Structure 1
Amino acid sequence: MATATRGERRVSPVFLALVAIMAVSIWAVWTDFSANPGLAVFLFVVSGWVVSLCLHEYAHARTALHGGDISVGARGYLTLDPLKYTHALLSIVLPLVFVIMGGIGLPGGAVFIERHRIRGRWRHSLISAAGPLTNVLFALVVTAPFWLGAMDGVPDHFRYALAFMAQLQVTAAILNSLPVPGLDGYGVVEPWLSYKVRRQLDPLAPFGILVIFGVLQIPGVGDAFFDMIDAVLDALGVKLWDTYWGQQLFRFWEGVPDIPPLSGIVVD
């Protein structure tokens, strides 16, 4: 089994700094420390989102390592350092822009896998599937307090921030699983396509994310998609009330929203 050196597996200070920012922002949201709670929610959600992106790409790299590609260690992918990604624009910048513009969670392609080192189509598919599965796991962890009925006593602002983060993870897991060139869903099915079909679809890969974002802007399509996301979140105990106010807080530059107190309100 392929392995990496201890240095290649050492967690990056950049990632640790992101985790520290997330921890401090969680404290700020929980204690209502800031005069503008939206700023604390913004830092919490953004830092948590970038941490999830790092874990998403780490999952790709770690699965590739066990599949036979030892080059991922030398490239620094196992350190969880977002600065090591081959496409920082697609991996960090564009996903953050999508989050800020419309609350859409969509990881981009990042790690470069030397596919010729990987033997077997199932291994290739598993490497691509590892990223979205990480988002699924992250979503389950974030929503656990909701579906376990453990939200009693949790500050409202923290509840809403957690709900919005859950929305991003669910949208990321679903969108990135679509079989569109450039997304992980396509990477799952690509090994099973003919060489001719792969050659025809490969040039579309750099535009896959933009195509998805554009399609979601079509009247009716975006509404239907987010209705589905709301249904998934509702099944996990997260209500539309929670995600709506979470996004309103997140957009702190629009001012502090006048949120009615949750106590006494029946959320369904």
Structure 2
Amino acid sequence: MTTAIRRADRRPSPVFIALVAVMAVSGWAVWTGRLSGNTGLAVFLFVVSGWIVSLCLHEYAHARTALHSGDLSVAERGYLTLNPLKYTHALLSIVLPVIFVIMGGIGLPGGAVYIDRGRIQGRLRHSLISAAGPLTSILFALVVSAPFWLHRMDGVPEPFRYALAYLALLQVTAAILNFVPVPGLDGYGVIEPWLSPGFRRQVEPFAPFGLLAVFGLLWVPEVNAVFFDAVNTLLRGLGIGRWDTYWGQEFFRFWRGEPQIPPVSGVGI
């Protein structure tokens, strides 16, 4: 009986499988253009489902690393099933990030799975648990952008190309924001075990507001410009130009109508 429960605790949930299915079907619709006149809707579904899948993998990486570091409670809480409904803060982990993707094209990092830190010994393990999530976002970005940096985009339909580019943009923004060493974000979690207990106690009350502070800074034009310059630099290294991400966002916003791409498409800017 115990073995059966453990297998169930580690088995991908129907919710996650459904998300992967939506991503696959909508990706097929974008590629084939079967939703004539509604390509933007297919791109929207592909990007949103892909983004939620990446968030599930992000949180799973935290939980899996914690499991191997000594916190067996993550299995009991259902974190290893990749079910976003099991997260302690489903609003922060899924709903708000999706809303910010729709509003502004920013991969907002979410929180969180609850890790019983008292069961984990060693500062390095604590740091690795925090780093596992954003490292997974980086890996996801590399996979999504692989056709670009491997120069395998010949014959790829333009809407699918732009959808991949936009999804890669979200992953890169999320990875950068997650690694910011601000209380409440994974970047701070990486360095926190190495800080003095007194300093940690002083900044602990500010942890719930760290994400809001970072997002508020992004509204400052100068900060926003520096941030997206860094994002675009990384994307160019992956073979993705601003042209690709711009039209990806245009297709994503299907409620504005089907975008008309000029004939100079495919040029990296």
Superposed pair shares fold, TM > 0.5: yes
Partners of 1:170 and 1:259 in 2: how far apart?
Answer: 25
Q: CA deviation at 1:262?
A: 5.0
Deviation at 1:267, TM superposition (A): 3.0
Equivalent residue, structure 2, for 1:24: 25
Q: Which letter maps to 1:49?
A: W
- The C-alpha deviation readout for 1:180-238, integer Å capped at 9, x for no partner, is 11110010011111111111111111112211111000022101211110110001100
Residue among 193, 207, 218 paired with 2:195: 193
Amino acid at match of 1:30: W
Q: Is the Cα–Cα contact under 8 Å of residues 19 and 51 in structure 1 kept in the other structure?
A: yes
Q: In 2, Cα distance between the equivalents of 1:187 and 1:228?
A: 22
The residue aligned with 1:181 is 183
Q: 5+ residue gaps in structure 1? A: none
Among candidates 142, 157, 174, match of residue 144 of structure 2 = 142
CA 1:195–1:152: 2 relative to 1, 3 Å? same
Could you say which residue in structure 2 is the equivalent of 1:72? 74
Within 5 Å, give how 1:32-43 maps onto structure 2: 32-34=33-35, 35-43=37-45
| Residue of structure 2 in register with 1:216 after alignment | 218
CA deviation profile, 1:120-174 (whole Å, cap 9, x unmatched): 0000000000000000100100111000000000000000000000000011111
Instruction: State the alpha-carbon separation in 2 of the partners of residues 121 and 238 from structure 1.
Output: 37
Paired residues of 1:156 and 1:262 also in contact (CA < 8 A) = no
Q: In the alignment, which residue of structure 1 is the partner of 2:162?
A: 160
How far does residue 93 in structure 1 lie from its aligned partner after superposition? 1.0
Aligned AA for 1:8? D
Equivalent residues of 2:243, 2:267 under 8 A apart = no
Cα displacement (A) at 1:6: 1.2
SS in 2 for 1:124: helix
- Letter of the 1:10 counterpart: R
Paired residue type of 1:18 = L
Distance in 1 of aligned mates of 2:161 and 2:26: 14
For 2:56, the aligned partner's letter is C
2:11 matches 1:10 = yes
Report the AA paired with residue 15 of structure 1.
F
State the partner residue of 2:260.
Answer: 258
Q: Secondary structure at the match of 1:105?
A: coil
Cα offset, 1:109, TM superposition: 1.3
Contact 2:127 2:190 in 1 (8 A): yes
Cα distance in 2, alignment partners of residues 201 and 250 from structure 1 = 38
Looking at structure 2, the residues matched to 42 and 229 of structure 1 have their Cα atoms a distance apart, in angstroms, of 21
TM-score for the superposition, normalised by structure 1: 0.96
Output the amino acid matched with 2:8: G
- Whole-angstrom distance in 2 between the partners of 1:140 and 1:262: 26
How far, CA to CA, are the matches of 1:174 and 1:9 in structure 2? 29
Structure 1 residues 266 and 71: alpha-carbon distance in aligned structure 2, compared to 1, 3 A threshold: closer
* Match in the other structure for 1:61: 63
- 1:248–1:266 Cα change, 3 Å: closer
Tell me, what secondary structure is at the counterpart of 2:215? helix
Structure 2 vs 1, CA of residues 266 and 115 (structure 1 numbering), >3 Å: closer, same or farther? closer
Q: How does 1:72-91 map to 2 (within 5 A)?
A: 72-91=74-93
Q: Distance in 1 between matches of 2:39 and 2:139?
A: 28
How many residues were matched structurally? 265
Q: Which amino acid aligns with 2:28?
A: W
TM-score by length of 2: 0.96
Equivalent residue of 2:151, what SS?
Answer: coil
C-alpha separation between the residues in 1 aligned to 2:87 and 2:217? 27
1:108 to 89, 107, 110: 110
Segments of structure 2 that go 5 or more residues without pairing to the other structure are none
Aligned to 1:206: 208
* Identity across the alignment (%): 72
